[in-house]
Amino acid sequence: MMTYVAYHDFDKFGGKTYPEGTKFHAVGNRIYSPEGFLCLTCSDKAHRLLAIDYDQMGILRGALRDQIYSLLYECDNHDVLYKRIKALWNDKLAKGYTDMGDSENDPWIWNEYYYCAPINDMEYILNLLLQEDIK
pLDDT in tens, 38-50: 899 998 888 888 9
CA distance 48 to 71: 15
Q: Looking at the structure, tell me whether residues 102 and 72 fall in a common domain.
A: yes
Domain of residue 11: give its range.
Answer: 2-54
How many domains would you assign to the chain? Answer: 2
Q: Looking at the structure, tell me whether residues 100 and 47 fall in a common domain.
A: no
Q: What tens digit of pLDDT does each residue of 13-47 get?
A: 556 788 999 999 999 999 998 888 989 999 888 88
Q: Looking at the structure, tell me whether residues 6 and 44 fall in a common domain.
A: yes
Q: Looking at the structure, tell me whether residues 20 and 50 fall in a common domain.
A: yes
The overall pTM is greater than 0.85: yes
Q: Looking at the structure, tell me whether residues 75 and 116 fall in a common domain.
A: yes
> Among 54, 71, 96, where does a domain finish?
54
Residue 79: its H or E element: helix 78-89
At residue 34, the pLDDT reads 85
